[in-house]
Amino acid sequence: MSNKEFVIPFVGLKLGFHEFKFDIDNAFFEGIDYSLVQKGNLCVKLTLEKKETMLVGNFALQGVVETACARCTEPMNVAIDEQFQLIYKFDDQPSNDESLVIVYPEEFEIDVKVNIVEFISVSLPSRSVHTDGECNEEIIDILSEYQVYSRAELEKSDARAFDGESEDEDQIEIDEDGDDDQIDPRWEALKDLKKK
């Protein structure tokens, strides 16, 4: 898709609701620098409500994107089914509100491509990992040679991270008197610096 397809000339729109649909394929992601997504097949539906002082955009994203597995770095598919709202406010003063885009008086169109890229990025899980048995075994074996933890420990920590548990909570035990049983040597070195 060319960038022009994402540009909406709002000046010619009447007050009220307007529907837009964008079919996104692999070509969409090719021109995006440092993208977390390499490929994808998505449908983005935009309902744009034009008011006197603003445009209210409701974006619905649905489809599948391809990103790298955090464990084996091989490509994996991630389903996306999300909705976002963005307000384009007609104003001449900038704003720090992330859900607000300022449309200055001299502007007569909005480009929603950047917004769609951001919505796709925030729709991805914080850590995308293949389900058990789907990782590239050859890469996992190579990585395990250079890692301190065993493969079983890594899989357990991946499951823990997926469940939202912190590894640090299990690694440090605190005595009843408040002393740590296990102290990271880097913290110990910093304590010594402080004493000098």
3-state secondary structure string, 4-69?
Answer: HHHEECHHHCCCEEEEEEEEECHHHHHCCCCCCEEEEEEEEEEEEEECCCEEEEEEEEEEEEEEEC
Element at 75 (helix H, strand E)? strand 75-90
* End position of a domain, from candidates 82, 100, 123: 123
- Residue 131 in domain: no
Q: Which two tokens stand for residue 54?
A: 């603003």
How far, in Å, CA of 75 to CA of 67, rounded?
Answer: 6
Q: Quick one: which of 56, 11, 42 has its CA closest to 116?
A: 42
The CA-atom distances, in angstroms, between 105 and each of 11, 17, 157 are 11, 21, 52
Do 34 and 87 fall within a single domain? yes
Residue-wise pLDDT for 67-104, tens only, equals 888 878 788 899 999 999 999 999 988 888 887 999 99
Give backbone dihedrals phi and psi of 33, rounded to 5 degrees, phi first: -75, 140
Looking at the structure of the chain, the number of domains it has is 2
How far, in Å, CA of 26 to CA of 37, rounded?
Answer: 9
Q: How confident is the model at residue 156 (pLDDT cuts 50, 70, 90)?
A: low
Do 117 and 141 fall within a single domain? no
pLDDT at 135: 80
Show the domain range for 188: 137-195
Higher pLDDT, 158 or 144: 144
* End position of a domain, from candidates 123, 157, 177: 123
Residue-wise pLDDT for 171-195, tens only, equals 444 444 545 456 666 666 666 665 5
- Residue 82 in domain: yes
Do 98 and 189 fall within a single domain? no
How far, in Å, CA of 38 to CA of 29, rounded?
Answer: 6
